[in-house]
Amino acid sequence: MSKKIAAKKGILVRQLKIIILLISKYIGLFSLSRKLTSNGLRILCYHGFTNSDESLFRPKLFITERLFKQRLEKISKMGFSVISLDKAVSMLESGVVPENSIVITVDDGWLGVESIAWPLLKEYKFDWTLYLTTYYAEKQTQVMNVAIQYLCWKAQKGEYDFSTLEGFNRTIIQLKNEADSDFLTQDLIKFGEQLPNASATQKFVECVADIFNKEQSLFDQSNMFYIIGMKTAGLMSADGVDIQLHTHRHTLGGTSKTALNKELTDNKNSIQKTTEKRLVHFCFPSGYYENMHLSWLKEQGIISATTCKPGLNYSNTPLLELNRFLDGENISAIEFEAELSGFTELLRKSRSFFKMAS
């Protein structure tokens, strides 16, 4: 199936799903689901917040201020109590599931968390946890791979001269279609990954931006694709925001226990300078983990870890494999409500029941 046909099919399936959800809500299935799943803890996951076009570039990674505000309003109107991760985990540890409760988590620490999420969550008086990755927070340079993906996504079709990018193996590059752009993105990221340090990587990103930037301003260098600085993290912590662990370089370090321990130690040492809170909650970078990582985290004193697996959390959900709902600009209002009401959870459970039975 061609990419275009697959995309069209995807849109149709999505539209059908939305119609089914609207009907389900109308006939009362959302209210019923809410009652049936009140003993399931909802954990929401957000990443970046924006007022620019990052939400068009990566709708799963960025959410607009307007939509995020609508989400908070919905949570409030639906009468959920938003509780801290600490409280939720302590309750789950003692075998009690907080009823009708939501935990809000934010991953990474993209700059918009300071200007958009923090004030809004404060306005709603919601507790929340920020899982902070600290390499880029310390270096204060742009997150290279995402910045490069954005520049290639934004670049117009045409011919570009890369001869100013020293050491890069290609010079004149034609971008005729999406495949050319994807290929160039991969090539550039590979090149960026072998650069010796953060300042060389930042110069590289700026050089690529300049090459694409001949005709138009593609890139607001001042505020896109940065992670908040440690000073801001300190201010947030003093204001009551719970800052927790997400590894230093946004990786578990593969299958090496030593590498994972180093990632955790570097991350902890960095965050510890900004907060007096105990650092015992962890979030798997990109949701990736294997069984061995669970016991290594336990040895390091980690009490809870959140994944990117969808689902509610019950008294028997392992604390090191908590489920979360990944919200973003790609999720419609009705899909969000279906998730909060527990309707989607019941669909998931019935699907896995029929899979098991077949």
Q: What angle do CA 80, 56, 155 make, to 5 degrees?
A: 160
Rule CB under 5 A: say whether 107 interacts with Zn ion.
yes
- Compute the least distance from the CB of residue 227 to Zn ion, in Å: 10
Q: Label each residue of 182-225 as H, E or C.
A: HHHHHHHHHHHHCCCCHHHHHHHHHHHHHHHCCCCCCCCCCCCC
Beta carbons within 8 Å of 293's beta carbon, 6+ residues apart: 252, 260, 284
- Compute the least distance from the CB of residue 307 to Zn ion, in Å: 12
Q: Closer CB to Zn ion, residue 54 or residue 337?
A: 54
- In the bound state, the residue with its beta carbon closest to Zn ion is 107
- Compute the least distance from the CB of residue 246 to Zn ion, in Å: 6
Rule CB under 5 A: say whether 86 interacts with Zn ion.
no
Q: Closer CB to Zn ion, residue 107 or residue 242?
A: 107
- CA 332/CA 337 separation, integer angstroms: 9
Torsion of CA 62, 148, 140, 191, to 10 degrees: 140
Q: Closer CB to Zn ion, residue 40 or residue 328?
A: 328
Site for Zn ion in 284-313 (CB under 5 A): 285
- Burial of residue 204, with CB atoms counted within 10 A of its CB: 0-12 exposed, 13-18 middle, 19 or more buried: buried
- CA 30/CA 15 separation, integer angstroms: 19
- Compute the least distance from the CB of residue 107 to Zn ion, in Å: 4
Q: Binding segment for Zn ion among 106-114, 205-213, 302-310, 345-353 (CB under 5 A)?
A: 106-114
- Compute the least distance from the CB of residue 242 to Zn ion, in Å: 16
Q: Closer CB to Zn ion, residue 40 or residue 285?
A: 285
Q: Binding segment for Zn ion among 8-16, 99-107, 228-236, 320-328 (CB under 5 A)?
A: 99-107
Q: Closer CB to Zn ion, residue 187 or residue 266?
A: 266
- CA 103/CA 142 separation, integer angstroms: 29
Rule CB under 5 A: say whether 263 interacts with Zn ion.
no
- CA 302/CA 297 separation, integer angstroms: 5
Q: Closer CB to Zn ion, residue 46 or residue 343?
A: 46
- Compute the least distance from the CB of residue 221 to Zn ion, in Å: 23
Q: Could you tell me how many residues of this chain bind Zn ion (CB under 5 A)? A: 3
- CA 51/CA 111 separation, integer angstroms: 11
| Radius of gyration in angstroms for the set of CA atoms belonging to the chain, rounded to a whole number | 22
- Compute the least distance from the CB of residue 44 to Zn ion, in Å: 15
Q: What angle do CA 335, 338, 340 make, to 5 degrees?
A: 110
Q: Binding segment for Zn ion among 23-31, 100-108, 142-150, 346-354 (CB under 5 A)?
A: 100-108
In contact, 218 and 160? CB cutoff 8 Å: no
Query: Could you say which of 41, 85, 104, 108 contacts Zn ion (CB under 5 A)?
Result: 108
Q: Closer CB to Zn ion, residue 60 or residue 176?
A: 60
Q: Closer CB to Zn ion, residue 71 or residue 248?
A: 248
- Compute the least distance from the CB of residue 330 to Zn ion, in Å: 17
Residue 309 CA, distance from chain mean position:
12
* Residue showing tokens 């609508």: 70
Residues lying near Zn ion in the complex (CB under 5 A): 107-108, 285
